[in-house]
Structure 1
Amino acid sequence: MLVLSRKKGETIVIQDQIELTILSVDGDTVKVGISAPKHVDIFRKEVYLSIQEANRESAAPQQSDLNALIDRLRGPDN
């Protein structure tokens, strides 16, 4: 991990496209402004992890759904 020190109003540039600017520092809270292209998704880590978990749950086949599909494929005669 790269660790950089910045003061209020100072900026960090990532790959010519993303700028992080320190907007304010108040005790333990730092406000960061982010300028990035619209195609770059930006999330707080706890939101990102929640999205990943929801995606994993959605992608996991449900056994009851799988059994229902198998029954449909077999047709009414079986």
Structure 2
Amino acid sequence: MLILSRKLNESLIVGENIEIKVIKIEDGKVKLGISAPKDINIYRKELYDIIVKENMKASTADIEYDKLSSLFNINKK
């Protein structure tokens, strides 16, 4: 993990087209501004973890459905 220190209004660049800037520091919280192309998804880590977990559950459900449907000769609609 790379660890960097930044002060208010300082930035860092990720790749060639993502900028992360410190906008505000107050009461132990840091507000960041992120400039990135629209085709790049940006999520808070806790939400990303939920998305990954739900996607895994959904893909497992499809596998289970496929197993059951083959046992009972059920065709997907």
Shorter-chain TM-score tier = 0.7 to 0.9
Query: How big is the alpha-carbon RMSD for the aligned residues of Structure 1 and Structure 2?
Result: 1.3
* 1:20-58 Cα deviation digits (max 9, x unpaired): 000000121000000001111110000000000000000
Unaligned runs of 5+ in 2: none
Unaligned runs of 5+ in 1: 74-78
SS of the residue aligned with 2:7? coil
- AA at the equivalent of 1:72: N
SS of the residue aligned with 2:16? coil
- AA at the equivalent of 1:10: E
Normalization by structure 1: what TM-score?
0.81
- Give the corresponding residue for 1:15: 15
Normalization by structure 2: what TM-score?
0.82
Kindly indicate whether residue 43 of structure 2 is the aligned counterpart of residue 47 of structure 1: no
Kindly indicate whether residue 44 of structure 2 is the aligned counterpart of residue 35 of structure 1: no
